[in-house]
Amino acid sequence: MKPNIFMSYSRREVGFVDDLTHRLEKEDFKVWLDYRTLVPGTPWKAQIDAGLKGADTVILVVSKESMASKYVELEWRHFLKMDKRLILVIFEAVDLPKELEAYEWVDFRGNYEKGLKELFSQLNRSIKEKHRVPETGFKVPMIVWVAFALSLMIALYSLSAFWSLFVPWFLVPLPYRIFKRNFDFTEVQTALLILPIALYLGSLGMATDLDLADSIMVLAFNSLWFVGALFFVLRSKGMQRWGKPEATMPKFANPYKPDDSKPKPVSFFIDHAPQDRLVAEEMTRVFEHHGHPRAADVASAKAVFVLLSAFKNDTSADPEDQVVYPVLIQTTQPSQKLSKIQWIDFRSGVRNLDAMAHLLPEPAKLLSALGIRPLGNQMVLPTVITTLRNFVILLGIFTGGSIVQYLGEFYNAGLDLVLNTDEAGGILFGFIGNLLLIGALTFFMVRHLAARKGWFASLRNFILGLLGIGLLIFALQEVDLRALDMLDYLGIPVEETSLAATFPMMIYLVGGPALALFLFVRRQDVRRWFPANVKKGG
């Protein structure tokens, strides 16, 4: 008979543990893993105690973080007292407490498949170790070295896009952060997609130095190979096992498809901030459609859903007496009371409400069906909001690149010659003013959109911001014509129309309507993301 396994680990190794659990379950082992087993709405301490009591084998994932965790220590010490079997899975070699040095171990630092084969063998047949558990030494999977080599090339490429700021900020330190396992997957992915464009725009800035321009153009083309390779390597299973939560992709445990049966009615109450009213209304509509009555207040509800966001992180409900479901709709830190309860993650969008309504009478099944593995401090946004954010960033980078071209042309023409021209002051003021305004707009629009706070955290104001960016891009056309005339007057050969000034306008005119169509298709996600209007004094 195969043993019941309790997984003891640090959340920093969630990608590795998630995959290891799936592989164990494929071999018909029953695994207790907190974020897939805990019943939402119930304090987790009692559930963990029950999980420890019901298991006969513990797999302790050894890492710097797990050995420093007081909760992990409580778990393995509990097993030692009960004289149950313990197997050390070595994710990182660290100094171990004396009590653990004599136990069985499997080294997963190198070949993952080899480690799995050995672990399965040990689970089916206890062995006596001939060698001491490794407590020193640095070994990483081969895929990590591949990612490091690719990221090193990408970091070098990104230096040529220094003017974009966004790209080198995330890509220059990436090789180091890959070894530290703490890069932000979402931000790195965005920076990778923007890098070839930023390099191409940089080549336009060197247009009067043909040799240098051609060199950077070649860089832009060649970077596509490294960008594509690193993009897929970071998404590989090996790198998803390696990274900390913020370096992994969002992944649902086991998507649940409800049938047509009517669930047993459960009275519910949705505790939310006024700004999150639209999410609460959608949840209420779906729950009532499936026959669940809405309670008049928190105290009278059998199930309380607390919407956690930048506007609310606590509730008056008592988890000791009621079933309380924290629902994370935006990255935030739950209150101390709610941090002891497993949450439901809706940061990537409000989904699966029909499934949630069906499983409401069976909270034990809710998390295993709809749960998403922890993502740490990674910025998680709905797809449509990520698209909107990236579009604004691209516009800012394109416009900045267009101004870089002119500054390059002015420099190559000779600054003394340019600045002694009557038109120079107005033209330079136009370029610098445009750069500052569009830079400020881009910064605050992106920041307010992600935080759901600030002047642009309103759909109306955000649209006004997009229109403002459009006006600045079209204003750049006028400055462009004046600059072309001045350069022509100085005898500097230039094209009749500037590609640098044309690109932002093309992106705005072509990408804008495409984005508008996408926003219309996903308009419910857009409406729910932007905070609802709150009347003053209300």
Would you say residue 60 has pLDDT above 90? yes
> 424: which 2 tokens?
């120079």
CA of 43: how far to CAs of 40, 236, 323, 331, 462, in Å?
A: 8, 35, 9, 21, 40
Which pLDDT score, from 0 to 100, does residue 497 have? Answer: 45
The whole-angstrom separation of Cα 342 and Cα 497 is: 58
Helix or strand run (H / E) with residue 88 = strand 85-90
Would you say residue 208 has pLDDT above 80? no
Among 367-371, 380-384, 469-473, whose mean pLDDT is lowest?
367-371
Task: Choose the most confident range, by mean pLDDT, from 122-136, 350-364, 397-411.
Answer: 350-364
Q: Are 306 and 338 in contact (CB under 8 A)?
A: yes
Tens of pLDDT along 487-528? 666 565 555 445 555 778 888 888 889 999 999 999 999 999
Would you say residue 155 has pLDDT above 90? yes
Which pLDDT score, from 0 to 100, does residue 16 have? Answer: 93
Average model confidence (pLDDT) across the chain: 83
CA of 372: how far to CAs of 253, 305, 308, 335, 454, in Å?
A: 6, 17, 16, 20, 29
Q: Where are the beta strands (DSSP E) in 177-314?
A: 268-271, 303-308
Q: Are 350 and 329 in contact (CB under 8 A)?
A: yes
> 94: which 2 tokens?
């660290």
The whole-number average pLDDT for the span 103-121 is: 91
Q: Are 90 and 13 in contact (CB under 8 A)?
A: no
Tens of pLDDT along 273-314? 999 999 999 999 999 999 999 999 998 998 899 999 999 999
Among 116-130, 325-339, 395-409, whose mean pLDDT is lowest?
395-409
How far does CA 225 lie from the centroid of its chain?
24
Give per-residue burial for 419-450: e unless 16+ CB within 10 Å, then b.
eeeeebeebbebbeebbebbeebbeebbebbb
Residue 351: Cβ-neighbour burial (10 angstroms; 0-12, 13-18, 19+): middle
Which pLDDT score, from 0 to 100, does residue 487 have? Answer: 61
Which pLDDT score, from 0 to 100, does residue 41 have? Answer: 57
The whole-number average pLDDT for the span 253-266 is: 74
Which pLDDT score, from 0 to 100, does residue 212 have? Answer: 58
User: In which band, very low, low, confident or very high, does the pLDDT at 37 lie, cut at 50, 70 and 90?
Assistant: confident
The whole-angstrom separation of Cα 80 and Cα 71 is: 15
User: In which band, very low, low, confident or very high, does the pLDDT at 353 lie, cut at 50, 70 and 90?
Assistant: confident
Tens of pLDDT along 403-412? 766 666 565 5
Tens of pLDDT along 452-488? 999 999 999 999 999 999 998 888 777 777 766 666 6
Q: Are 354 and 335 in contact (CB under 8 A)?
A: no
Question: What is the DSSP-derived secondary structure letter of residue 536?
Answer: T
Q: Are 51 and 6 in contact (CB under 8 A)?
A: yes
Question: What is the DSSP-derived secondary structure letter of residue 31?
Answer: E
Contact residues for 394 (Cβ-Cβ < 8 A; gap 6+): 194, 197, 507, 511
The whole-angstrom separation of Cα 506 and Cα 513 is: 11
Would you say residue 202 has pLDDT above 80? no
Q: Are 56 and 85 in contact (CB under 8 A)?
A: yes
Among 38-47, 260-269, 298-307, 310-319, whose mean pLDDT is lowest?
38-47
Tens of pLDDT along 522-532? 999 999 999 99
The whole-number average pLDDT for the span 226-234 is: 94
Tell if the pTM clears 0.95, that is, is over it.
Answer: no
The whole-number average pLDDT for the span 99-111 is: 89
